[in-house]
């Protein structure tokens, strides 16, 4: 409402200023001529365009100021990545000495519960620890100071990992287990440098590359093959080995275009197991030296999990350093070293046999609990597992020699079979710039959203009153000044050759007009009507456009909420965000502003042309070529303007999608050191 009034004032400002000035001059007995009046009005009208720009400029300055402040906060924020040093023992790839890590709260206040949820709701990993790892005296001193102040830490950092001593030997397979919230994922994130180091030292062999498989697989909106390659050069033989080891061959047979099938955003057209295996294949294909696996087998069934463990972890990754977090404890038996975590600390470590000898230990308790639950599952689901398992296994062996499947297998195959129509593997639809043409039905839909025909006619009537009031003000002023003195004469006495001579002279002053009060009164009331109709028009038009925008938003949102899942499979989130951000903002702000200007300026032009034709009928002949030229220019430029606007809107959708995808997979991107590649996309 305020914006509508601000944009209306500059349009009537010159009219109000001219009216008030002329009224005050005549009321204070200051004469004004036709030349003075219209020169003054012309000067005021010349400033109309400058005054009209001021609200836009002030709004842009305010928005720019606040935008720069927000961007400044982001650009000046410190990097939270831990600075790691080089390892002391070069047989190790990762060393942590008395390390304590936590999550630093953001600059703005957040509740402690939110920080706790972030830290303990994730799972952490740890590697093998050699008690002979060298440590500096400064590290020991830091640890002692930390333990003394641990109960009341001076900073707001929520401590998640405490007193971690860890050494990952090159080429070792280290398993990590523990209860939910024990700090397994936090350990992996500490190694990746994503947590704040409170005390201690962390060292990573910087010559070795790191690959990371998060617990929730991150999938890009591109083909399966591009998700696996992840910017790496395609090597056919290695690619085939990786796909086979990750049990993806039979999945490719189910997809419309094999590994060239496009995956929807966040892997929406894949099951959880498929997404996890693609994420696993990405890590294996990267051929990195250090592989950090955060419970990657939780989304696959037992047979597929066993296949991946044997062919990936014990096969293709046999010479790699693997940190393997798992809640499926049967896989830990095949690990070289096992670490048990509890409450953010490493409580036990050793081989499976060594830890099982500790009957009262946490690992032994977890193993016994796990086997007891497995016995119950076996007794209740033995028949189903036998039937489904044999069928799944035989199918996998027949198709690819490897097992495939997960708990969502049947639903996924059904879902993928429905996409056979996309034989080229293309899933998402690009925006079509040719289909969005503005026609009469579009305008009628907008008018209906604003309140229907009755409200639209009422708003149009207020616009006509606004235009008529301003035109009448200028028209009445011209009649007033043209009337002059109203035919009043005055006696003028002059001395000629010593003789006084009195002549009757016609007055040219409007102050001598006997109907001066009438002219002043009507002119004053016309000024009042200009103000009244200006604000009435601004208020009615603003309410009409606001209702139309709100109705359209609600209709679009209602359609979105009732859309089938297929719509979200083929429509990137960037397009949806663009509709509800850029397009709705234009319907809220730009459309009311420029349509209001179009109607008012167009109305003034039409009335001015009519008045000129009434005064000079021959001007109608000159209007024929002028109108024709204007129409041709409009038709010539209309398509270009519309195409440019549509192109501007269409190009924003991929940007929104890219930003959303990048934020979702930021941890994975940083782990693979792919930040530069995503910046250049």
CA dihedral 289, 292, 297, 303 (to 10 degrees): 20
Q: Which of 294-308, 362-376, 446-460 has the lowest mean pLDDT?
A: 362-376
Specify whether the CB–CB gap between 180 and 123 falls below 8 A. Answer: yes
Work out the average pLDDT over 130-156: 46
Cα separation, 113 vs 565, whole angstroms: 34
| Residue 648 CB neighbour total at 10 angstroms | 10
User: Pick the residue with more confidence: 207 or 337?
Assistant: 337
79: left (phi over 0), alpha (psi -120 to 50) or beta: beta
The torsion angles phi and psi of 342, rounded to 5 degrees, stand at -155, 125
Q: pLDDT of 298-354, one tens digit each?
A: 888 888 989 999 999 999 999 899 999 988 888 888 899 999 998 889 998 888 888
Is the per-residue pLDDT at 61 higher than 80? yes
Cα separation, 126 vs 190, whole angstroms: 9
Residue 212's pLDDT band, with cuts at 50, 70 and 90, is: very high
Going edge to edge, which strands form the sheet with 345-350? 210-213, 290-294, 321-325, 173-178, 337-342, 345-350
Residue 405's pLDDT band, with cuts at 50, 70 and 90, is: very low
- In the chain, domain spans: 2-70+441-615, 92-171+183-204, 210-333+367-416
Class level of CATH domain 210-333+367-416: alpha beta
Specify whether the CB–CB gap between 103 and 144 falls below 8 A. Answer: no
Is the per-residue pLDDT at 388 higher than 80? no
Cα separation, 409 vs 57, whole angstroms: 58
Work out the average pLDDT over 217-235: 89
Q: What is the mean pLDDT of the chain?
A: 77
Work out the average pLDDT over 643-647: 78
Specify whether the CB–CB gap between 500 and 528 falls below 8 A. Answer: no
Cα separation, 259 vs 386, whole angstroms: 30
The torsion angles phi and psi of 169, rounded to 5 degrees, stand at -75, 145
* Whether the model pTM is above 0.85: no
The per-residue pLDDT for 469 is 87
Q: What is residue 38's three-state secondary structure?
A: helix
According to DSSP, the residues that pair with 499 across neighbouring strands are 496
Return the closest-CA partner of residue 166 out of 190, 149, 182. 190
Q: pLDDT of 238-266, one tens digit each?
A: 999 999 999 998 888 888 888 888 887 77
Specify whether the CB–CB gap between 221 and 426 falls below 8 A. Answer: no
The per-residue pLDDT for 307 is 92
**What whole-number percentage of the chain has pLDDT above 90?**
11
Tokens of 293: 């696996």
Q: Which of 124-138, 249-263, 512-526, 534-548 has the lowest mean pLDDT?
A: 124-138
Pairing of strands 92-103, 210-213: unpaired
| Inter-CA distances, 531 with 5, 8, 184, 331, 541, Å | 11, 10, 70, 81, 15
Residue 88's pLDDT band, with cuts at 50, 70 and 90, is: confident
Cα separation, 280 vs 267, whole angstroms: 14
The per-residue pLDDT for 150 is 46
End-to-end CA distance of the chain: 41
Residue 390's pLDDT band, with cuts at 50, 70 and 90, is: very low
């Amino acid at each position: 409402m305020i914006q509508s009034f601000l944009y209306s004032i500059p349009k009537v400002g010159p009219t109000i200023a001219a009216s008030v000035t002329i009224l005050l001059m005549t009321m204070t007995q200051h004469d004004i001529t036709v030349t003075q009046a219209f020169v003054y009005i012309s000067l005021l009208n010349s400033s109309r365009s400058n005054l009209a720009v001021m609200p836009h400029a002030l709004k842009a300055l305010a928005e720019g100021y606040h935008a720069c402040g927000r961007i400044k906060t982001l650009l000046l924020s410190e990097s939270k990545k831990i600075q790691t040093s080089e390892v002391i023992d070069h047989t190790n790839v990762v060393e942590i000495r008395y390390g304590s890590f936590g999550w630093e709260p953001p600059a703005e206040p957040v509740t402690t519960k939110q920080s706790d949820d972030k830290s303990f709701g994730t799972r952490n990993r740890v590697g093998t620890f050699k008690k002979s790892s060298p440590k500096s005296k400064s590290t020991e001193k830091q640890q002692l100071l930390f333990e003394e102040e641990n109960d009341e830490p001076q900073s707001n950092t929520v401590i998640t990992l405490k007193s971690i001593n860890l050494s990952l030997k090159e080429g070792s397979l280290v398993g990590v287990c523990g209860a939910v919230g024990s700090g397994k994922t936090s350990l992996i994130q500490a190694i990746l440098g994503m947590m704040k180091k409170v005390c201690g030292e962390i060292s990573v062999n910087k010559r070795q590359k790191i690959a990371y498989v998060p617990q929730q697989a991150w999938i890009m909106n591109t083909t399966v093959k591009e998700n696996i390659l992840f910017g790496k050069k395609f090597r056919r033989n290695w690619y085939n080995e990786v796909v086979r080891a990750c049990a993806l061959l039979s999945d490719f047979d189910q997809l419309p275009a094999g590994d060239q099938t496009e995956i929807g955003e966040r892997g929406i057209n894949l099951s959880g197991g498929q997404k996890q295996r693609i994420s696993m294949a990405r890590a294996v294909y990267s051929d990195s030296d250090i592989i950090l696996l955060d419970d990657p087998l939780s989304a696959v069934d037992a047979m597929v999990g066993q296949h991946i463990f044997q062919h990936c972890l014990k096969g293709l990754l046999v010479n790699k350093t693997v940190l393997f977090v798992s809640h499926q404890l049967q896989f830990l038996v095949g690990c070289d070293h096992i670490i048990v975590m509890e409450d953010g600390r490493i409580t036990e470590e050793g081989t499976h046999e060594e830890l099982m000898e500790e009957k009262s230990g946490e690992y032994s308790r977890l193993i016994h609990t796990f086997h007891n639950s497995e016995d119950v599952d076996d007794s209740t689901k033995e028949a189903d597992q036998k039937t489904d398992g044999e069928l799944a296994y035989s199918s996998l062996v027949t198709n690819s020699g490897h097992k495939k499947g997960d708990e969502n297998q049947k639903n996924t195959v059904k879902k993928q079979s429905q996409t056979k129509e996309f034989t080229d593997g293309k899933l998402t639809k690009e925006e079509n710039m040719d289909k969005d043409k503005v026609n009469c039905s579009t305008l009628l839909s907008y008018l209906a959203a604003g309140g229907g025909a009755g409200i639209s006619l009422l708003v149009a009537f207020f616009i006509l009153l606004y235009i008529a009031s301003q035109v009448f003000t200028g028209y009445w002023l011209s009649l007033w000044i043209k009337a002059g003195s109203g035919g009043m004469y005055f006696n003028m006495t002059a001395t000629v050759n010593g003789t006084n001579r009195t002549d009757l002279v016609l007055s040219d002053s409007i102050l001598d007009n006997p109907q001066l009060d009438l002219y002043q009164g009507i002119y004053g009331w016309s000024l009042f009507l200009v103000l009244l109709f200006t604000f009435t028009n601004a208020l009615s038009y603003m309410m009409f456009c606001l209702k139309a925008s709100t109705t359209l938003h609600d209709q679009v949102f209602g359609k979105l909420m009732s859309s089938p899942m297929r719509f979200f499979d083929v429509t990137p989130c960037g397009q949806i965000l663009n509709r509800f951000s850029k397009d709705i903002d234009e319907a809220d702000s730009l459309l009311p502003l420029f349509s209001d200007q179009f109607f008012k300026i167009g109305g003034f032009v039409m009335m001015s042309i009519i008045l000129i034709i009434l005064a000079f009928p021959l001007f109608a002949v000159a209007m024929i070529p002028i109108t024709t030229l204007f129409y041709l220019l409009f038709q010539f430029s209309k398509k270009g303007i519309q195409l440019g606007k549509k192109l501007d809107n269409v190009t924003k959708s991929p940007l929104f999608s890219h930003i959303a995808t990048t934020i979702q997979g930021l941890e994975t991107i940083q782990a693979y050191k792919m930040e530069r590649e995503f910046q250049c996309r």
